[in-house]
Structure 1
Amino acid sequence: MRIVVFCCFMLMVSALAAVSAEAETRYVSDQISVTLRRGPGTEYKILKSLPTGAAVEFLEEEENYLKVRTKGGSEGYVLKQYISAQLPKAYVVARLEKQLVQLQQRMADVAKGAEAWKGEKVELQRQLADVQQAFNRGKAKHSSLAKQYQTLQDGAKNVAELLNERDRLKAENEKYATDLAQLRQDNDDILRKAIVKWFLAGAGVLFLGWLIGKQSRTRKRAF
């Protein structure tokens, strides 16, 4: 379980690192509103205010200011102390909470599927029992006829008829054996799939719950 959680964490870190390398997108820091000015100083005209979490494209750095471009195409300067290369924690937590809800829904769907699988398993077990009984009856009948065949063979009577009956029962017996093997295979396949679904859903929920808790604690310490 720990190995699965660690692997998922490393994949998410790698994905975030790849996104950071491809784009120079930065964000307005937590719980503030930043002014976008025409030049790098308070004497320049304010173009607009940027709310927390607003994504801007980093263009260049000039002393205490960064030149940026907004999604609307406006270019200007903001104090670099209010701009971060990381998405604000509140947005990260909200995104993770949304993913957690989605995983919980998937778990609920898997649980419903498991209930349906239980019913299907009961039906397969019933069919398996029927085939097993038929197989046993055929086997007993085949054994009885084999004895009769031996008796008739010894008496040299109705040999051809007995041979035909023996062959028919042998073919029937082989069919029962084939059906039994197929039902056993189907039952094993269903069981394996259900176990894998439960394991993956549980691991995902455990990881996201842990990550949200960690993000929440980090945010509390920051405040």
Structure 2
Amino acid sequence: MKKIAVMMFMGLWVLLSVHTCWAEKAYVVNTSKITLRGGPSTKDKIITMLKQDSAVEVLGTQSGWSHVQVLGNASRNYEGWIVSSFLTREVPWKVQVEGFKEENVRLKQRAENIEKEWSASSGEKELMSEKLEKAENELKSVRTKYESLKKASGSLLALQETHEKTLKEFQEARVTLETLQKENMILKSSQRNRWFLTGAVVLLVGLIFGLVMGRQQRKKKSSYY
């Protein structure tokens, strides 16, 4: 009876010591590689070594250890245990900088596409030039802030605030570029309508001229009789 009670107590203790939680993303903060083990102990087998800033998904915690799944294309779906003190929920500045680089490339490509469409169109060049110049200036401003952010990445709090502000400006620049693209399409459509109306007018004038000439010829013939 005592053995059963002891076993029940130990089972309850294990359940209470293992904390499950909603899966959340975390990053390795140790400057050197750390071990991913098969269990929550230094005696457990080492599965692989994780570099600094490696992204993981936290599945649960137990006695100072975190049960994680390694994220990323080269992770091979590794799953194991890591010391919780080596993890942080804050996104590393290097990861944020890479995100800014990708966003900057996409925004630059969109600006180049708009410039090509503008060059191929005719009419309203001055207005389109002003709008394009404004969009390019916004892009330069965002790029300058990105470079400043990369240099001042030592402070995570300041980095996060600047990151949010810069993303907002990215979105505003994106809206401006999309508006330019729509206006360019409207401009091309209006040019096609002008050519159509011009052709219709020429055809109408030709018909009127033909009717007038026909009447004059009939009058001349009737005067001979």
Q: With structure 1 as the length reference, what TM-score do the two structures score?
A: 0.46
Q: Which protein has the bigger helix share?
A: 1
- Greater RCO (CA < 8 Å, at least 6 residues apart): 1
